[in-house]
Structure 1
């Protein structure tokens, strides 16, 4: 529980409690509960890299939920998911711009020697650690496919 990111999240939880921000507090508790679940299930301590991956996955889940709720006409539930996304994004590094992402993908293709879709895994392996928590991996995958295809 001593990682820098976990400390920031715990401090934010205390601040949200003091400010009586119920929605923010609930979202922060979801993040910490997910860390705790992983620690109990896998008997490990979640480090910053794993925490970023977990929060990235939580963002993806929220995006999926939002599209399903909006398709079902449940704007109220979509709004809750959007609010949770904003809180989760507060703890993630600054998102990559389209230009930065494009440059990263181009460099990964060159560095890995990827020439076709068969080599996509090699390039993705170079991109993933750099883009974790900073870009939607679905978008990264689409961009990579477009450049290789």
Structure 2
């Protein structure tokens, strides 16, 4: 049983009781996304915490991108609402890696694999991605891998 899913449900109940509209709306949305993910595919299955973190990361990214789009369109009220939802979801994600930690992790993988040059980016990303597991955005990881391989 996924502890994170139980925590989300418990927090949803608490948010509803305290009439916290942003938290209630956000948690309902993410629990729906989790249920959809569980129902998709060949056989229905219950997601573990690792899978739920992946869903939370995806949902956070969606909100961040939506906030940027609303900001560009001059809809600052909608942008603020998307950022508020993103902040709620951030409470459920693992602590993000700092720049130094990410740099060291990528350097270690490059040393382990003996990768050289930009052509080895896929090989390094394949090794780094599971180690990062929701603690850094994919674009940020890819940028660091590219930087180190081209340096």
Q: Name the TM tier (shorter chain).
A: over 0.9
Q: Distance in 2 between matches of 1:75 and 1:114?
A: 44
Aligned twin of 1:148 = 149
> Which residue does the alignment assign to 1:104?
105
- In the other structure, the counterpart of 2:115 is 114
Shift of 1:69: 1.1
Answering whether residue 57 of structure 2 is matched by residue 21 of structure 1, we say no
Q: Count the aligned residue pairs.
A: 148
Point out where structure 1 has 5 or more consecutive residues left out of the alignment. none
Any gaps of 5 or more consecutive residues in structure 2? Answer: none
2:124 maps to what in 1?
123
What SS class does the counterpart of residue 95 from structure 1 fall into?
coil
Deviations 1:4-33 (A, max 9, x none): 111111111111112111110110111100
**Consecutive aligned runs of 4 or more in structure 1 exceeding 3 Å deviation:** none
Give the superposition deviation at 1:141.
0.7
Distance 2:114 2:30 in 1: 38
Cα distance in 1 for partners of 2:92, 2:65 equals 20
**1:130 Cα shift?**
2.1
The residue aligned with 1:49 is 50
Structure-2 separation of matches of 1:51 and 1:129: 15
What residue number does 1:30 align with? 29
Q: Deviations over 1:63-119 (max 9, x none)?
A: 221221111111111111101111111101111111111111111111222112221
Q: TM-score, normalised by structure 1?
A: 0.93
